[in-house]
Amino acid sequence: MNTRLSLSVFLCILAAGLLIPVVPATGHASGGAITIKGSTTVLPIAQVAAEEFMDRNPGIKISVQGGGSGVGISSLIDKTTDIATSSRRIKPEEIEKAKAKGVTPSEIVIALDGIAVIVHPGNKVSALTKAQLKDIYTGRISNWKELGGADAKIVTVSRDTSSGTYEAFEALAINKEKVRPDALTTASNQAVAQTVAQTPGAIGYVGHGYLTGKVKDVTVDGVKCTKQNIQSGKYPLARELYMYTNGKPSGNTALFVHFVLSKDGQKLVEDEGFVDILK
């Protein structure tokens, strides 16, 4: 893993160890529902963790919703969620808004992820550089033949601006330039994958956990989006996934976050196709 990711993950794990009480993950809590809102990338992790946690703690109910990282963070600021999930780091202006409303966002890294670039399985192109990816998404390249593929229009699939995956891709892949105006905008990783799978000329991007045999992921700068390359920092579109709470997690919220960070919780992260932070 590269130095930035290693330091960030270490600090967040350290913070979690200091701030979140070490309490059993089963059978010792009751009452008080937990609300989780935010990232569609983190959604499968949150859902499976919530299901397992509720099985172990029948007295606690957890509601999990998607909507995008921006929605989750806005909900935290508005005090309508206990946990905001996000596939990008909270912005300085969001922190200021939160402080103005008496909210102190507390950041916890719960997993690592890579933004996989996907094309239709029938596409001959299997490798792109970051420069080519940028040219596709900003409109400089519009035909696959310019990249060694068929003489066919490139159908660019992107995410809505409230998406943390969109913002991470914008920063990591296209240097925060504007996505071409004719790009198809979708509301979730699943929608991107489905559109690309059904559209021969399409290209899109999804979290690593959303890769299936129905699409083909291409290498970026010669590096494949694998767990090992994400963890080492070799994959150029690697990122961290977050949960945010209002101040130090407490009560049942702390119990749940502790479970997500535990060995059992991180196994669920791996089972969902993402990369754990324990190694």
Question: Could you tell me which of 105, 113, 135, 109 has the C-alpha nearest to residue 10?
Answer: 109
What is the radius of gyration, based on Cα positions, of the chain?
A: 19
Token pair of 99, please?
A: 């402080």
**pLDDT given at position 161:** 85
**pLDDT given at position 19:** 38
Across the range 247-275, mean pLDDT stands at: 96
**pLDDT given at position 229:** 96
Q: pLDDT category, 162, cuts 50, 70, 90? A: confident
Question: Could you tell me which of 15, 187, 167, 8 has the C-alpha nearest to residue 88?
Answer: 167
**Containing H/E element for 244?**
strand 238-246
Distance between CA 90 and CA 30 in Å, rounded? 31
Task: Answer yes or no: is pLDDT of 29 > 80.
Answer: no
Domain range summary for the chain, segments of one domain joined by + = 3-112+240-271, 114-232
CB of 66 closer than 8 Å to CB of 43: yes
**pLDDT given at position 279:** 66
Distance between CA 112 and CA 240 in Å, rounded? 5
Across the range 224-244, mean pLDDT stands at: 96
- CA atoms 266, 268, 272, 273: torsion sign: positive
What pLDDT, in 10s, does the model give residues 46-78? 999 999 999 999 999 999 999 999 999 999 999
Considering the segment(s) 114-232 as one domain, its CATH architecture is: 3-Layer(aba) Sandwich (3.40)
| C-alpha distances out from residue 186 to 164, 169, 172, 251, Å | 13, 14, 19, 36
Distance between CA 256 and CA 34 in Å, rounded? 9
The rounded percent of the chain whose pLDDT value lies above 70 is: 89
**Containing H/E element for 63?**
strand 62-67
Q: Which residue has the higher pLDDT, 21 or 196?
A: 196
Task: Answer yes or no: is pLDDT of 24 > 60.
Answer: no
Q: Which CATH number fits domain 3-112+240-271: 3.40.190.10, 1.25.40.10, 3.50.50.60, 3.30.9.10?
A: 3.40.190.10
DSSP 209: G
Task: Answer yes or no: is pLDDT of 164 > 50.
Answer: yes
Mean of pLDDT over the chain = 89
- CA atoms 175, 178, 184, 188: torsion sign: positive
CB of 85 closer than 8 Å to CB of 222: no
Task: Answer yes or no: is pLDDT of 23 > 70.
Answer: no
How many degrees, rounded to 5, is the angle at CA 131 between CA 130 and CA 136?
95
Instruction: Flag the least confident range among 27-41, 151-165, 219-233.
Output: 27-41
What pLDDT, in 10s, does the model give residues 204-230? 999 998 999 999 999 999 999 999 999
Q: pLDDT category, 139, cuts 50, 70, 90? A: very high
b/e burial code for range 115-142 (CB count within 10 A of at least 16 → b): bbbbbbeebebeebebebbbbbbbbebe
Q: pLDDT category, 1, cuts 50, 70, 90? A: very low
**pLDDT given at position 7:** 35
Q: pLDDT category, 269, cuts 50, 70, 90? A: very high
Task: Answer yes or no: is pLDDT of 9 > 90.
Answer: no
Distance between CA 246 and CA 250 in Å, rounded? 10
Question: Could you tell me which of 98, 70, 100, 118 has the C-alpha nearest to residue 242?
Answer: 70
Across the range 135-142, mean pLDDT stands at: 97
**Fold match flag (3-112+240-271 vs 114-232):** yes
